[in-house]
Chain A
Amino acid sequence: MKRFMIGMAMGLTVVGLLAGCGRQSAALVTVAGSTAFQPFAEKLAEQFMAMRNDVNITVQGGGSALGIQAARSGTAQIGMADLVQLPPEAAELVSTTVARDGLALIVHPANGVTNLSIEQVRGLFNGTLKNWKEAGGADQSVRVVSREAGSGTRSSFEQTVGGIRLTAEAIIQDSNGTIRETVANDPNTIGYLTHGLLSEKVRAVRVDGVDCTEAAILEGRYKLVRPVFLLTKGAPGGAAKDFIDYVLSPEGQGMIRSYGLLPAK
């Protein structure tokens, strides 16, 4: 019993010490939302905090919808959303575009199709084109891979292509990474992911004859692009403004670029 008590006391002391380690006087900024932008925001926050001792930034995921909700309710000073069109409830928020992200359509390297028109992409994902033959490929049935309902990547994709009502046959995967794995394992699939996560295991298809490259996205020739927004309630102020300014600064934009996203302008 006695030993147990001592153990407890020691445990509590350790917890207390750890809790005491946080920066006491720092201004707290919470950033929440898009899981696609979260890893980038974390790195940017890390760099920012290295320069500014008086600010403490916590970055949370939860998805674009949650980012909008959190910014509105004030649980986060900054919401992250990567949607082509912000929903009506985000109208009251001030949005700052901090990056752009291309969505690459991917197929297995062995798939013969190299170019798809927007019309064909729509047909494939709606389930009206069921055979690769109809899109200029081999005589094989098409398997569509998409993200779960509510995903920012999925809604951006569906909005930029337009008129998509996803076929019930579609396989659903819950992250960019698992979509890539699924497509890399099956020659008859087609999926989409953020172009920063392309790898040699899959091949990006040209859309309307345009390759999904950084240059094509920057010049506006590649169509499937979505913006990344940072949202604040009212004009950003204080530490939140400083952080957004840092993200937009040449240094911040350079980092965004080096991580595979595209700068805002």
Chain B
Amino acid sequence: MRNTGERIVQNALMLVAFSALASLLLIAVFIFKEGLPFLLRTGLRDFLLSSDWRPQEGHFGIYPMIVSSLWVTFGAMLVGAPLGIACAIFLNEFVPKSVMRVTKPTIELLAGIPSVVYGFIGVIVVAPLIRSHLGGPGLSVLCAAVILGIMILPTVISISVDAIGSVPNSYREGALALGATRWQSVHMVVLKAARSGIVAGVILGMGRAIGETMAVIMVAGNSVKIPHSALDSVRTLTANIALEMGYATGQHRQALFATGIVLFVFIMILNSLAMAAMKKSVK
């Protein structure tokens, strides 16, 4: 009796586990099914490298969106990565454990704030600051980078904290015994040992930044053009899909799914890089 019960639960759990996998697979199949015919018809080069996006006239070039996505993500990394890593070092090495116990969950709460709220803060606070002090429309690469940089902090910090925390204490003690100062032991020994974990955290944060949609639509301005400066308004791949999906029919809709494929490939690459980095850290 007990055995059958156990088996039922076991199988049910397995079913649940596989359904998660299956939904991922289904999503991938669906995106490719909708977008691939379009890609094959238009040709990869015309789609990826043309900068003419006028769906009403049948021109579908997403080059500006690709460039914009990369710039916005790169900017978010410039803001988020140093802040996040510095915060992780500080929490692990320079404050008592009791402070860490309060601070870390608080930072992780940041991940629970809806992206609309981040976007709203970007529109109301950050964009006007940029417009009045630096010029341009305010809704820009810079604004998106700042907002996304803050949004990826919880990811970067919590993974970096774990990576730094898993460096054995004997390393630190060894460094101190050799006469290193605390900072020297941190940046010459601890950071080196935790490097791959930190890199994984940064890459996962990057994946979050490139995939974020709502906040970016609100703060990036969504112009379809290749940005010439950080103050230009841009449209990312995700924003392009979300903005136009509601109205798109026929070829336009397929082009948006093809945009989804490009995004899918980007994120797959980033995630495999992160996994490879993490694997290295386990060794």
| Size bracket of the A interface | 20 to 34
Whether B249 and A174, one on each chain, are in contact in the complex, defined by CB atoms closer than 8 angstroms, is no
State whether B222 touches A173 (Cβ < 8 A). yes
Taking a contact as CB atoms under 8 Å apart, the answer to whether A168 and B223 are in contact is: yes
**Which of B128, B221, B252 gathers the greatest number of chain A CB atoms within 10 Å?**
B221
From 127 to 174 in chain A, residues with beta carbon under 8 angstroms from any chain B beta carbon are 143, 148-151, 155, 168-174
A34-62: CB near B (< 8 Å → 1, else 0) gives 01000000000000000000000000011
CB-contact partner of A150 in B217, B235, B252, under 8 A: B252
A18 at the interface (CB under 8 A from B): no
Q: B249 — which chain A residues lie within 8 A by C-beta?
A: 65-66, 69
- A-B pair count, CB < 8 Å, reads 68
A75 at the A/B interface (Cβ < 8 Å)? no
Q: Which residue of A lies closest to B249 (CB)?
A: A65
B5 touches A171 (CB 8 A): no
Say whether, besides A143-B137, A172-B221, A148 and B131 are in contact (CB < 8 Å): no
Whether a CB of chain B sits under 8 angstroms from the CB of A185 is: yes
Q: Do B246 and A62 touch across chains, with their CB atoms under 8 A apart? A: yes
- Structural contact, B225 and A149, CB atoms closer than 8 A: no
List chain B residues, Cβ under 8 A from A189: 137
A171 in contact with B247 (CB, 8 Å): no
The reply to whether B137 and A150 form a contact with Cβ atoms under 8 Å apart is no
Residues B221 and A185 in contact, CB atoms below 8 Å apart: no
A172 touching B56 by the CB < 8 A rule? no
In the complex, residue of chain B having the shortest beta-carbon distance to the beta carbon of A64: B247
A151 touches B137 (CB 8 A): no
Q: Say yes or no for A92: interface residue by CB 8 A criterion.
A: no
A185 contact set on B, CB distance < 8 A: 123, 127-128, 131, 138
A1 touches B (CB below 8 Å): yes
Q: Which residues of B contact A (CB under 8 A)?
A: 5, 9, 54-56, 123, 127-128, 131, 137-139, 217-218, 221-225, 233, 235, 243-244, 246-249, 252
In order of increasing CB-CB distance, the 3 nearest A-B pairs are: A150-B247, A172-B222, A168-B225
Not counting A168-B224, A169-B233, a sample of 7 additional A-B residue pairs whose C-beta atoms are within 8 angstroms of each other reads A35-B246, A62-B246, A148-B247, A149-B56, A169-B225, A172-B222, A178-B218
